[in-house]
Amino acid sequence: MEKIGFIGTGVMGRSMAGHLLKAGHPLTVYTRTRSKAEPLLAEGATWADSPADLAARSEVVITMVGYPDDVRQLYLGDDGLIAHAPRGATLIDMTTSDPLLAVEIHKAAKEKGLAVLDAPVSGGDVGAREARLTIMVGGDSDAFLAVLPVLEVMGKNIVLQGGPGSGQHTKMVNQIAIAAGMVGMCEAITYARRAGLDPEKVLECISGGAAGSWSLSNYGPRILKGDYAPGFYVKHFIKDMRIALESARAMQFDTPGLALAERLYSQLADEGGGDLGTQALYRVIDRQARNQGEG
């Protein structure tokens, strides 16, 4: 079994790393806040004092961090993964990040005799816990095939989309589709309540029809319960949407639905909702409806 290093044990990363450990892989972990890794350490994972230390011990390194700046420092910094990973190692960035950065990292790694894949995921906390994430991969096909058994421990729908950066571009497609859908879902629930309907019955009815979606089935019930705990953080979704907006502008086309969603989510974050789950967008849309009704 490959020696795996895992960096980033947050809401999703903790479950993903746990599946690798249970599958029998020797696992080394690092995160800026060690307490987040304690459950994995208790189950048999080994702690690394730095990313460089982790890279030196690993045949495969997986990263699941927050922002493109984190990815850049982690991979390209003097004490980063590329500088310290052994020749022949494979580095897999599962963070949702900038496609152009993924290309830059691939080039730098290849010069050091390393393989790199950009492999962002979709499925949220539920998909991570149940090991059925969708994994969108960009990079060389031989590197992909070599680590496919590792990826299959964490996900079910795993597709090599193309060369370096293709995984990140695919994730942008995913986030664009989700962004407009989240706005529509929150508006729909608000409408149902203001119309005097039983929203649970409404969701039960429409989820099996043309309006059905993963977000509606998974986040709709959470909204009805007032559960805004993060399966995916608002602050990270805003980051994703801004990357997608920048990428679309670089390709010279507008994304008005995405722009609206980014504006509404930014409003939620400005009100202190950055650490809530993405379903908390309902708060903004419901409040706007209430204010309009009172006006």
Q: What is the CATH number of the domain that holds 204?
A: 1.10.1040.10
Q: Which of 114, 137, 163 is a domain's end point? A: 163
Same domain, 213 and 136: no
Same domain, 144 and 173: no
How long a stretch of residues is the chain? 295
**In angstroms, rounded to a whole number, what is the distance separating the alpha carbons of residues 227 and 106?**
40
Buried/exposed 196-210: b ≥16 CB within 10 Å, e otherwise: eeebeebbeebeeee
Number of domains in the chain: 2
What value does the mean pLDDT take over residues 128-156?
97
**In angstroms, rounded to a whole number, what is the distance separating the alpha carbons of residues 56 and 61?**
10
What value does the mean pLDDT take over residues 23-29?
97
Same domain, 45 and 147: yes
Task: Give tens-digit pLDDT for 122-135.
Answer: 998 889 999 999 99
Say yes or no to pLDDT of 156 above 80. Answer: yes
**In angstroms, rounded to a whole number, what is the distance separating the alpha carbons of residues 112 and 279?**
42
Biggest alpha carbon distance in the chain? 66
What value does the mean pLDDT take over residues 199-216?
95
Would you state the pLDDT for residue 125? 86
Q: Which band of pLDDT confidence, cut at 50, 70 and 90, is reported for residue 295? A: low
**In angstroms, rounded to a whole number, what is the distance separating the alpha carbons of residues 27 and 236?**
26
Percent of the chain exceeding pLDDT 70 equals: 100
Lowest-confidence pick of 52-56, 67-71, 124-128, 242-246: 124-128
Residue 74 near residue 80 (C-beta atoms within 8 A): yes
Say yes or no to pLDDT of 200 above 80. Answer: yes
Domain extent at residue 199: 169-294
Same domain, 190 and 273: yes
Q: Which band of pLDDT confidence, cut at 50, 70 and 90, is reported for residue 294? A: confident
Q: At 44, which CATH number?
A: 3.40.50.720
Average per-residue pLDDT in the chain?
96
What value does the mean pLDDT take over residues 216-240?
95
Same domain, 232 and 189: yes
Place of tokens 């529509």: 184
Task: Give tens-digit pLDDT for 96-121.
Answer: 999 999 999 999 999 999 999 999 99
Same domain, 154 and 195: no
What tokens appear for 66 in the block? 């927050």
Same domain, 35 and 121: yes
Percent of the chain exceeding pLDDT 90 equals: 94
What value does the mean pLDDT take over residues 163-185?
97
CA dihedral of 149, 153, 156, 157, whole degrees rounded to 10: -50
Would you state the pLDDT for residue 157? 96
Say yes or no to pLDDT of 80 above 80. Answer: yes
Q: Which of 108, 136, 163 is a domain's end point? A: 163
| Burial grade of 280 (CB within 10 A; 0-12, 13-18, 19 or more) | buried
What value does the mean pLDDT take over residues 46-64?
97
Same domain, 223 and 87: no
**In angstroms, rounded to a whole number, what is the distance separating the alpha carbons of residues 56 and 162?**
28
Catalytic residues: 171
**In angstroms, rounded to a whole number, what is the distance separating the alpha carbons of residues 163 and 141?**
8
- The neighbour count for residue 271, using CB atoms within 10 Å, is 13
Same domain, 62 and 203: no
Q: Which band of pLDDT confidence, cut at 50, 70 and 90, is reported for residue 285? A: very high
Same domain, 40 and 105: yes
What value does the mean pLDDT take over residues 49-70?
96
Q: Which of 121, 137, 163 is a domain's end point? A: 163
What value does the mean pLDDT take over residues 41-68?
96
Same domain, 130 and 52: yes
Same domain, 216 and 271: yes
Q: Show the DSSP H helices in the chain as ranges.
A: 13-22, 38-42, 51-57, 68-76, 81-84, 99-111, 124-129, 141-154, 166-194, 199-206, 214-224, 234-250, 256-268, 281-294
What is the DSSP track for 131-191? T-EEEEEES-HHHHHHHHHHHHHHEEEEEEEESTTHHHHHHHHHHHHHHHHHHHHHHHHHH
Residue 56 near residue 28 (C-beta atoms within 8 A): no
